[in-house]
Amino acid sequence: MELVRGDALYRQLANAIRSDIQSGEYPPGSLLPSESALCERYGVSRPTVRQALAALRTEGLIIVQRGKGSFVRAAAGAPAVTLERAITRSAGRYVDPETEWSQVESPTVYRATTDATTGPLLGLDEGEAVFGCDRLMTHQPTGTRALLRTVIPFATAAGADLGNDPMRPQAELYAVLEAAGHRLTWHERVSARVPAPDEAAVLRLPEGVPVMVIRRVTGGNDGPLLLEETRISAEATQADYVITPQGRATARRSRAGTTG
């Protein structure tokens, strides 16, 4: 590797490995040489190799599988999982969208309070009492894992007679809220970020793979009623939506109320 004065050595190494990937020497899906082999080939130290690989991982060019090594990211194809985000009714009843999913373990139900994220989404101050339920799910056809969280304010649970069993399946929750007299609406926000270490471990994400976060707020007659959050591999997943047109006034209100 020909060194260039003034540029960090690990960046030069990252550029060299990137060039070799682009030339096809390391094709998509292939295993890169070991750290010691890269040290010998490019004439650099092990810390330099590790910095270069970290930079390529941040770019999304390679992924790291613990115990196996660094792999060139495979060419992008169709994601393995499609999350159907439409709200479906059949014969006057809401339809459960999780037919291909099963629980990895029993749900965790708890009492909590709103924080800087959940409070604004639910139209509440921080510290307001809520019920929470966390579920770890697996997609049966592909083995992809998802973390599902439902957050229900105490006021919603009391107003819809959910106090004894606030964490019901999604379709049943919607039906109970509608039976309580609410005209339901839904709003979603989708983002992606670097996963926390515990999220990566639970979701079994390779290093360098972001987590997709989908937050759905169910609204009623007087404002937000509950929050549902899905966390899943952004590489393995696509979210599928049915889009319906809004009137101009409705669209303006929607934009005005959407921040962050």
The letter for the amino acid at 232 is I
Q: Is pTM beyond 0.75 here?
A: no
Question: Residue 142 and residue 7: Cα distance in Å, rounded?
Answer: 44
Q: Is 157 exposed, middle or buried (0-12, 13-18, 19+ CB in 10 A)?
A: buried
Q: Is 125 exposed, middle or buried (0-12, 13-18, 19+ CB in 10 A)?
A: exposed
Residue 249's pLDDT is 53
Residue with tokens 């926390």: 196
Residue 114's pLDDT is 96
What token pair was written down for 177?
Answer: 């809220």
Residue 105's pLDDT is 86
Residue with tokens 């770890």: 136
Residue 144's pLDDT is 92
- R_g of the chain computed on alpha carbons: 23
Q: 3-state DSSP call for residue 7?
A: coil
Residue 6's pLDDT is 62
Domains and CATH numbers, the chain: 9-72 (1.10.10.10), 81-256 (3.40.1410.10)
- Segments in the chain below pLDDT 50: 251-260
Question: Residue 202 and residue 136: Cα distance in Å, rounded?
Answer: 8
